[in-house]
Amino acid sequence: MSSPLQIVVAKRTAAVAAQLAELGRQTFEETFAADNKPEDMTAYLEANFGPEQQMAELQDPAVVFLLAHMQQVPVGYAKLRIGSELGIAEGKSPADRLEVERLYVREDWIGTGLGAALMRRAIEEARMQNCRSVVLGVWEKNERAIEFYRRFGFKVIGEHPFQVGTDIQNDLILRKGL
């Protein structure tokens, strides 16, 4: 018997772009609204989660979206970038690394293992792309996420700024070798 949870590579269609825009807005807001000014959240959501923006990201050949559905309802997603330069030393090639740019699940699915399933699938995608490492950025104040990534073997290798509206925040850069 197959699981009602399905994690698939997202199709590059307008319908999927609209679905990702809605899910992206919902999950980002659920995760960060309490810790950010409303005007900064609004600015970030408007700039990053419109259907047109999602369609452009879907069309990028270096980007892969994994979309998780439970009985045809979208419950989480991951945005992966092949050949990421995040945290790479100057003069090194990004060709053999994959970045998890986003990994979010709906609030009502946190703690169910869905995030872990998405991460396992992201690591599988990195291996299929012949990557030697996976990198990601995580807000230094998001302790739950940092612990989640550590359980998968990620280690801090640096930091970089991340802007939410007018607020410049600090993200840790984490890496896992494959």
Catalytic residue IDs: 149
Is residue 106 within 8 A of residue 75, CB to CB? The reply is: yes
Q: How far are the Cα atoms of 106, 139, 148 from residue 6, in angstroms, in the given order?
A: 15, 28, 21
Residue type at 100? V
Q: How far is CA 130 from the centre of its chain?
A: 20
Strands 167-177 and 133-139: antiparallel
